[in-house]
Amino acid sequence: MSKEATVLFDAPGPRARARNTMVTVVASIVLLGILAAFLWRFNDKGQFAGELWSPFTKWTVWDKLILPGLWSTLKAAAVASVLALLFGVVFGLARLSDHWWVRVPAGVVVEFFRAIPLLILIFLAFFIPNKISPTIADSAFGTFQRVLVDNVFSVFGVEINAGTITVPAFAAVVFGLVLYNGSVLAEVVRAGVLSIPKGQAEAAYSVGLRKNGVMRLILLPQAVTVMMPAIVSQLVVLLKDTALGFIIAYSELLSAGFRQVPANYHNNKIQAGIVVAVIYIAINMAVSRFATWLEARSRRSRKTEAKTMGADVVAPPAPGMAAGGAASGV
């Protein structure tokens, strides 16, 4: 309970205590009522049957379905996190460039990918290459396309056969996650660098550093401290968003737990959903706890002038908003 909130009310006296007790009783009755109605319905539809719950006590279910799914989720999240951070640093710094021909295109890219839904980006990567690649293969860029796929995208399992590109679901999910979260991280990087007091850069220039040195030796190291909590929170968003892989049948945790398990064990969708949700919540809360810890640590540290943007604060305002202020990642 934060200090600011408790200031909203006095330490309760006898009447307030009585009132609070009454509210507690009424609220409990309402909540228990909702819960009871739900459980009654649950029982009515036979959802307490042991065969619906018992699959989760079997090792083969975990070994063959849920753990491989979890592994796919973590793999996609890890690869996408690294690439998104790279994307974020490159485009975040590009947006701070002194040259308009670097700054403007980078800005357009970042704002574009922030303004459209992640799922649409995943569809772009998953469906569109195999539709348009035969046309490209017949054109002057055919060789270029083949070389590009063979040498770069093959790392992600992308294949090219007779001019038609097949993108595996993994690559499509990673592509979408990188472009979307990378753009958000680019804004975080930009905000982080801009939040460093101007005197730091001025002092660096005055001792004779060039722009590159100022950025690399003075501004970025401090900005990293500022950005850390926001970056980790964004990685939670990224991890959660891997669940969109479900829609294009990437066999991640949600797909394995919520599609495969019910398909094999008496359609136990609700039970499977609860188990999968618990796994997601445990992972995400652990990562969030880490972000809070990082934030507290860097607030204590006296090495830097920089103030962190806060653990609850995730990203700069959404596209189209010039106003300052922080936003939560959704």
Near other proteins in 38-67, by CB under 8 A: 41-42, 45, 47
263 binds other proteins (CB under 8 A): no
78 binds other proteins (CB under 8 A): no
**Nearest CB to other proteins, comparing residues 188 and 219:** 188
**Nearest CB to other proteins, comparing residues 222 and 245:** 245
Site for other proteins in 127-166 (CB under 8 A): 127-128, 131-132, 134-136
Q: Cβ 277 to other proteins, closest distance in Å? A: 5
Residue 166 CA to residue 197 CA, distance in Å, equals: 49
Residue range at the interface with other proteins (CB under 8 A); choices 90-98, 165-173, 223-231, 273-281? 273-281
In sequence order, the β-bridge partners of residue 160 are 165
Q: How many residues bind other proteins (CB under 8 A)?
A: 74
Residue range at the interface with other proteins (CB under 8 A); choices 93-101, 102-110, 276-284, 294-302? 276-284
Task: Give Cα 217 to chain centroid, integer Å.
Answer: 29
Q: Cβ 199 to other proteins, closest distance in Å? A: 26
116 binds other proteins (CB under 8 A): yes
Q: Which helix (H) or strand (E) holds 159?
A: strand 159-161
Which of 267, 299, 301, 307 touches other proteins by CB under 8 A? 267
Phi and psi torsions of 50, nearest 5°: -60, -35
| CA torsion, ordered 157, 163, 164, 166, to nearest 10 deg | 0
Q: Is the dihedral of CA 170, 171, 177, 178 positive or negative?
A: positive
Q: Which helix (H) or strand (E) holds 241?
A: helix 220-241
Site for other proteins in 9-38 (CB under 8 A): 9-10, 12, 16, 20, 23-24, 27-28, 31
- Among the listed residues 243, 240, 248, the one whose alpha carbon sits nearest the alpha carbon of residue 258: 243
Q: Which helix (H) or strand (E) holds 165?
A: strand 164-166
Residue appearing with tokens 């009132």: 19
318 binds other proteins (CB under 8 A): yes
Site for other proteins in 232-251 (CB under 8 A): 236, 240-244, 246-247
Q: Cβ 151 to other proteins, closest distance in Å? A: 23
120 binds other proteins (CB under 8 A): yes
Query: Which residues, in sequence order, are CB contacts of 62 under 8 Å at separation 6+?
Result: 56
**Nearest CB to other proteins, comparing residues 201 and 247:** 247
Site for other proteins in 279-308 (CB under 8 A): 280-281, 284-285, 288
CB 133 within 8 Å of CB 165:
yes
- Among the listed residues 50, 49, 118, the one whose alpha carbon sits nearest the alpha carbon of residue 80: 118
Residue 265 CA to residue 272 CA, distance in Å, equals: 10
223 binds other proteins (CB under 8 A): no
Q: Cβ 260 to other proteins, closest distance in Å? A: 14
